[in-house]
Amino acid sequence: MSKNKGLSARPAGANNKAKADEKAPSAMPLKSVENKPEQKKVEPKAAGAKAASLTFDAGWKQTVQGELAAGAQVTVHYDPSRAQLQHTHNGAPAWGVQAFAKMLPGGQMVEAPVVDFEAKAKSAKARPLTIDLAKGTVELQLWFKNWTGGDQPKEAWDSNFGINYRFAVRP
pLDDT per position as a tens digit, 88-131: 888 888 999 999 999 999 999 999 999 999 877 678 999 999 99
What mean pLDDT, rounded, does the chain reach?
78
pTM above 0.85, yes or no: no
* DSSP letter (8 states) at residue 120: S
List of domains in the chain = 52-168 (2.60.40)
pLDDT at 119: 74
Tens of pLDDT, residues 39-48: 333 344 445 5
CA-CA distances (angstroms) from residue 170 to 70, 89, 94, 101, 166?
A: 6, 44, 39, 17, 13
pLDDT at 26 over 90: no
Give 76's pLDDT tier (boundaries 50, 70, 90): very high
Tens of pLDDT, residues 123-144: 899 999 999 999 999 999 999 9
Q: Which residues have C-beta within 8 Å of that of residue 162, sequence separation ≥ 6?
A: none
